[in-house]
Amino acid sequence: MDLDPDLAALRSLGGFFVLRTLPSPPPPPAAAGGGPHRLPTLAEAYEGVACDGRRDALTLRVATVGARLRTAEPRVAASLAQQGLAARLWSAALGCAVLYGRLPGLDPRLLRWDALAAAPDDLWLTGTRALPGAAANAAAVAAAVLDAHLEPLGAVLRARYGVATGLLWGNAGSALAATARELGRWARVQDRTDVAERARALTDELFTHPLLRATGARTGTGFRRRSCCLYYRVPGGGLCGDCCLTRLPRPSPRAASG
């Protein structure tokens, strides 16, 4: 199935899978969450290029997530911001791979990002050009998501916010497992056994990747990660369903005393 210019097949999968395309103009700032009129690329975000005259898009995103979750810990906000972007990237890549059998070019220089907007209004793809070669496989998906995005993104977050490497790859594994479950759920509802089988095969192979194989334990579609995303540190937060923790950690005496 050829890629259509608007990637319309992704729309039925839900908001996290939708990938809007240019040259349709990006929405004005107010419609896209108040972001800058010229949406920066993800490449610019990873490189620290300022997008609002003062801050780069990644700094803006972490601050936005922190404010929405009411956490004063930048490390927590950085972890959750990364997990959200990882979920968007996995969803777009896997959705295209299983529905079209092809991947569009998802280079960071082609993806524009509104750091103030929630999914699906955050990402815009410049053009829809299928990657050359055979149908999309796990190696192509890994190159598009892990190599092109999550590695440079993780490097910035480790250097800037001190987020642990294992935590970030745990977030990536968790986001991949959640994406696969959602694809499987959609396939069952739509009676698309072909989609379910392809999604399962791609996910199984992706979890053999050196960066993902140690991120958690899988049982069927279930996933138990070996790290914690730190959501429990958000005011009112708790443990995620795939967390390695079985109970909330006790606050340290220093933290409890304020």
Domain locations in the chain?
8-245
Q: Is the pLDDT of residue 133 over 70?
A: no
Q: Average pLDDT for residues 93-110, to the nearest whole number?
A: 94
Long-range contacts of 69-72 (CB under 8 A, 24+ apart): 69/234, 69/235, 69/237, 70/234, 70/235, 71/233, 71/234, 71/235
Segment (H or E) for 129: none
Q: Is the pLDDT of residue 112 over 90?
A: yes
| Cut 0.85: pTM above it | yes
Q: How far apart are CA 82 and CA 88, in angstroms?
A: 10
Q: Is the pLDDT of residue 195 over 60?
A: yes
- What is the token pair recorded at 121? 């209004």
Q: Is the pLDDT of residue 257 over 60?
A: no
State the pLDDT at residue 130: 78
State the pLDDT at residue 135: 66
Confidence tier at 158 by pLDDT (50, 70, 90): very high
Q: Is the pLDDT of residue 79 over 70?
A: yes
Structure letter (DSSP) for residue 237? -
Q: Average pLDDT for residues 243-254, to the nearest whole number?
A: 75
